[in-house]
Amino acid sequence: MKVIYLDNNATTKVDEAVFEEMRPYLTELYGNPSSMHYFGGQVQKKVDEARKRVASLIGAQPEEIIFTACGTESDNAAIKSALEVFPNRRHVITTRVEHPAVLTFCRGLSKHGYRVTELNVDSKGRLDMDELRASIDENTAVVSVMYANNETGVIFPVEEVGRIVKEKGALFHTDAVQAVGKIPLNMAASSIDMLSLSGHKLHAPKGIGILYVRKGVPFRPFLVGGHQEKSRRAGTENTASIIALGKACELAESHLVDENVRVKGMRDRLESELLRLIPASRINGGGAERLPNTVSIAFEYVEGELILLYLSELGICASSGSACTSGSLEPSHVLRAMGVPFTCAHGSIRFSLSRYTTDDEIDTVIRELPPIIRRGREMSPFGRDLLKG
Ligand code: PLP
């Protein structure tokens, strides 16, 4: 069965060119970049090149890039560092729609005497900036607001957030795991102090990420031990994956226009055709600024898991807006924060495209999904009422 992979916000395929770039550094050039000998030195040079490539994609300087193991580590490290930098500030601000890598970490802080504010979003998933202005004060150590949401693709006005944060002298971190490689970012002209990125969302392998820390911003390491990464992140470098990430960032930079034109064109077509063909459907975050590759679409009176199952039988990979917790299907915290009605949130499906997505694949989904939704609705009393119209 041919796989139609439309779950790229969950993870992406490693680009062939990325794999070719990393392969020798697993089997032949396996030296430790910290070693004094020439064998390790060659690897160090390639790590330096990768650092430059990553920096270039986000308009940063190479020294501002710290390689980590994943987006989650970068998120945790950024927030923890800010709290150590400002030991007397006991307030943290984040949003209700963050990825658990930020949200769970922040919620854990409230057990250690910190006050944690979770900013609300409106029905389109847009951030309540007035609430931010009202919440931030001289006791705030760090504000962590994501660049773009993984479920809906809604983009937050992070530069404006950063300017507000600066006025209070706090640090600003953004989780840009879903934004990097999909939209242009330029740290050279930015109010962001720290930014997280994850390799496996942009066609590099899993298990590699970065934390960007602006020059001059104080930083306290999360992992301590050896002197790797200028003592900012201990642990022998994951050299092959770092090199892979460098190549992936170079490719992402060259495909940015494509992502914003061709990929967005396919996403928009998928969205408008599904809305046209399927009654009682709506876009979660529709009307807000969104990533070009993401659509979260709600179909009323049908279970998301059922839709995913039927799609999966056809080789179509997507994800739902529900999380299966302790046997009950709860709508996701993101859709709940947006106030999406339960009847819609349960039937929400996310399609996330990549530069490998083809028009044919989009045609297949447009053809196959309407009868699936119909079948699903036939199974529920409200769904049947809707079909009778
Ligand atoms: N932040 C966001 C917005 C994400 O979408 C993800 C992964 O889904 C993460 C953080 C975690 O990244 P990683 O899987 O590299 O730990």
Q: How close is the Cα of 370 to the center of ligand 1, in Å?
A: 31
- Is 10 part of any domain? no
Would you call 256 helix, strand, or coil by DSSP?
helix
For residue 108, the CA-to-ligand 1 centroid distance in Å is: 18
Confidence at residue 322, expressed as pLDDT on a 0 to 100 scale: 66
Indicate whether 99 and 131 sit together in one domain: yes
Q: How far apart are CA 195 and CA 171, in angstroms?
A: 11
Q: Helices (H), strands (E): how many in the chain?
A: 15, 15
286-321 tens-digit pLDDT: 999 999 999 999 999 999 999 999 999 999 999 986
- Domain ends where: 228, 254, 280? 254
With contact defined as beta carbons under 8 Å apart, do 173 and 78 qualify? yes
Q: Considering the domain boundaries, does residue 64 fall inside one?
A: yes
Nearest CA to ligand 1 atom 13: 71
101 CA → ligand 1 middle, Å: 7
Asked if 25 and 57 sit in the same domain, the reply is yes
pLDDT at 327: 55
CA count, 13 A, side-chain hemisphere, 147: 26
- Clarify whether residues 221 and 348 are in a common domain: no
Atom 5 in ligand 1: which residue has the minimum CA distance? 150
Claim to verify: residue 230 and residue 310 sit in the same structural domain: no
Q: CA 202, CA 303: separation in Å to the nearest integer?
A: 30
Length of the chain counted residue by residue = 389
Which of 94, 178, 241 to probe ligand 1 with, by most ligand atoms within 8 A of CB?
Answer: 178
Q: Which residue type, as a one-letter code, is found at position 317? A: C
Best mutation site among 150, 152, 195, 203 for ligand 1, i.e. most ligand atoms within 8 A of its Cβ?
150
Pocket, ligand 1, Cβ cutoff 6 A = 70-72, 75, 99, 101, 146, 150, 175, 177-178, 198, 200, 209
Q: What does the pLDDT look like over 240-269, one tens digit per residue?
A: 999 999 999 999 999 999 889 999 999 999
Number of CB atoms found within 10 A of residue 328's CB: 8
CA 210 / ligand 1 centre spacing (Å): 12
163/229 same-domain check: yes
- Given a cut of 50, the residues of the chain with pLDDT beneath it are none
- pLDDT given for residue 328 in this prediction: 59
CATH number at residue 193: 3.40.640.10
* pLDDT at residue 274 in the model: 98
- pLDDT at res. 259: 85
Report the run of H or E that residue 12 belongs to, with start and end. none
Distance, CA 383 to ligand 1 centroid (Å)?
34
pTM: 0.97
Task: Cite the active site residues.
Answer: 324
Residues 309 and 133: their CA atoms lie apart, in Å, by 44
Q: Specify the ligand 1 atom closest to the Cα of 72.
A: 16
Task: Point out the ligand 1 atom lying closest to the alpha carbon of residue 148.
Answer: 3
The total number of structural domains that make up the chain = 2
Write the DSSP symbol of residue 332.
P
d(C-alpha 76, C-alpha 194), whole Å:
11
Say if residue 75 is in the same domain as residue 58: yes
Cα distance from N-terminal residue to C-terminal residue, the chain = 36
For residue 119, tell me if it sits in a domain. yes
Q: What share of the chain is helix, strand, coil (3-state, %, to 5)?
A: 45, 20, 35
Residue 11 lies in a domain: no
Nearest CA to ligand 1 atom 10: 71
User: Residue 303's domain is classified under what CATH number?
Assistant: 3.90.1150.10
What's the pLDDT at 201? 98
End-of-domain residue from the set 254, 273, 297: 254
Q: Is residue 118 part of a domain?
A: yes
For ligand 1, atom 8: residue with the closest CA: 10
Pocket test for ligand 1, best of 201, 291, 294 (most atoms within 8 A of CB): 201
Span from the CA of 378 to the centroid of ligand 1 (angstroms): 36
- Residue 263's domain comprises 256-388
Atom index in ligand 1 nearest the CA of residue 207 equals: 15
Considering the domain architecture, whether residues 168 and 101 belong to the same structural domain is answered as yes
CA nearest ligand 1 atom 12, residue: 71
